[in-house]
Amino acid sequence: MNQEKWEKAVAFHGHSCPGLAIGFRAVEAAEKALGVSLFQGTDEEVVCVAENEACGIDAIMYLTDCTPGKGNFLFRLRGKQAFSFFIRDGKSVRVVLKPKSGEMTREEWQEELLTKPVGELFEVKKPHYEVPERARIFENQLCATCGESTMELMLRIEEGKTLCLDCVKSYDRGF
């Protein structure tokens, strides 16, 4: 593992932790399986889908081209330490962290995550979902109550008025 890159990822994240190590090594596992670097310096050629929103995603954002702002880092929250990477040329991989081998301290766990060969840490699978479509641009409209400009996709109609999700009355009958 690349010590200098790790230290930079730690600086980006703000602290060193096992979660960050999971994301850091997940990138390595995916790159090994795909045979390409996930940092290509391009906007949307690589897409990451993270199945959690824990510390590890910061390492992935740091090491790859994928960021939420560019629209190529998406969440599919399933509470799993699993990450899929799609290359727009058609290659894809889903790496899933294997269960811990036993009880260990946080420090021991982090050490194991940083030093074990990636093949022992991750299962390499195929994503069971398709690559998400490219980020689309939507029109905006003003919310009739707060007056704030809101993406059309996020607006609701209530009593004939167009409202943002913060202004619409919730209607939830337990289903």
Residue ranges in contact with Zn ion by CB under 5 A: 17, 19-20, 55, 143, 145-146, 164, 167
Please identify, using beta-carbon distances, which residue of 17 and 38 lies nearer to Zn ion. 17
Give 33 or 60: the residue with its C-beta nearer to Zn ion. 60
Q: How far is the CB of 166 from Zn ion (least distance, A)?
A: 5
Residue 32 Cβ, how far from Zn ion at the closest point, in Å? 24
Residue closer to Zn ion by CB (options 68, 119) is 68
For residue 56, the minimal CB distance to Zn ion (Å) is 8
Q: Smallest distance, Å, CB 21 to Zn ion?
A: 9
In the complex with Zn ion, the residue whose CB is nearer, 55 or 82, is: 55
8 A C-beta contact, residue 105 and residue 10: no
DSSP structural state of residue 38: S
Locate the DSSP E strands across the chain. Answer: 46-50, 73-75, 82-87, 92-97, 122-125, 140-142, 149-151, 156-158, 161-163
Outline where 14-153 has alpha helix (H): 18-34, 56-63, 106-115, 118-121
CB of 59 to Zn ion, least distance (A): 9
Cβ proximity to Zn ion: between 45 and 51 the closer is 51
Give the pairing of strands 122-125 and 140-142. Answer: unpaired
Q: How many CB atoms lie within 10 A of CB 122?
A: 26
